[in-house]
Every structure is written in C-alpha cells, then in structure tokens.
C-alpha cells in the first residue's frame, strides 16, 4: 500500500509536471518566435507602377538569421479597421506562378518580388492592407513557429 507521503508527492508532482509540460509546449514556441526570429530586417518596397486594377505587386526584402524550413506562407487582404480577412492569391511577379509550397532560402539577405490578385469588389476600397505570416519547422523538431511578415499598405488606384 502507498504511504501518505507517496500519495501527497504524486498528488503534487503529477499536476505540476502536466502544467509545466503544457506551458513549455505552448509558451516556448512563442518565446522563440519573439526573441529568436528566423527572418529579421524585413521590409517591403513598391512604386506607383506596382498598383494596377485588380493587382498589387511589391518587393519583400529580408535577412534570414536562422536555419528553418518553411511549412506554409499565408497572405490575406484586410480592409484597415476591420477584422475581416480575405485569402490572397499570391504569385511570383517574374513568372506569375502561384505560391503553393514555400522554398527554403539561404542564410543572409534575400528578396522576393510578389503580386496579389485583388478581388474586383475590393479594388477601389480605401485602406486595403495585405498581411502575411510564415510558419517555420524548427531544426530541433519540437514545434513550429509563426512569424509575421511586413504589412503592405495598398495605395489607391489613380483616378
């Protein structure tokens, strides 16, 4: 039969271990994404010729600071000040190929020329914003982390 000390120890350490494990698995990926991001020094560039009816193009620059394999890249179109997001079809500017599976890039600086197809209903709405996130599988294999990509503020179409 178990002693009272053993029952007390199991009663304390089992929940503490479960809570600690849950906090580790939930909190550590957020801390890793915050304090050790894969991409640093991100920025976007575009000029007046990059905005045409039904389309917005930009150049995304970054510095890759850590090894990690991208799992998925997700872009969405939002009207500023609302919580409604529309999935954005993103394609490479050079060949128009839709981005389906992200490719790993080398450490150091990199860039991508991207375009998003803007739905006709949203094309003339002021305050369009394109937001992106990328999910990386970490080399240690314990979890993935999400990283925000730079926001693209879509300029209005010329009148």
pLDDT for 121 equals 87
- Average pLDDT along the chain: 87
Is 153's pLDDT higher than 90? yes
User: Would you say residue 82 lies in a domain?
Assistant: yes
Tell me the pTM. 0.79
User: Would you say residue 79 lies in a domain?
Assistant: yes
Q: Do 79 and 127 fall within a single domain?
A: yes
Q: 41-56 b/e with 16+ CB inside 10 Å = b?
A: eeebebeeebbeeeeb
Segment holding 21, helix H or strand E: helix 4-35
Domain coverage including residue 70 = 38-153
Secondary-structure breakdown of the chain: helix, strand, coil percentages, each rounded to the nearest 5: 20, 45, 35
Q: Do 31 and 42 fall within a single domain?
A: no
pLDDT for 39 equals 92
């Amino acid at each position: 039969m178990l002693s009272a000390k053993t029952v007390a120890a199991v009663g304390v350490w089992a929940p503490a271990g479960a809570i600690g494990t849950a906090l580790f698995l939930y909190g550590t990926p957020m801390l890793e994404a915050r304090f050790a991001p894969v991409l640093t020094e991100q920025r976007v560039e575009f000029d007046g010729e990059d905005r045409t009816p039904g389309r917005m193009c930009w150049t995304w620059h970054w510095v890759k600071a850590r090894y990690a394999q991208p799992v998925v890249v997700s872009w969405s179109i939002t009207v500023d000040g609302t919580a409604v997001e529309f999935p954005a079809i993103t394609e490479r500017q050079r060949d128009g190929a839709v981005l389906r599976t992200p490719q790993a890039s080398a450490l150091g600086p990199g860039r991508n020329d991207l375009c998003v197809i803007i739905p006709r209903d949203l094309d003339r709405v002021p305050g369009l914003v394109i937001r992106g996130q990328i999910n990386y599988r970490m080399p240690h294999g314990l979890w993935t982390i999400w990283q925000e990509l730079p926001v693209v503020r879509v300029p209005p179409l010329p009148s």
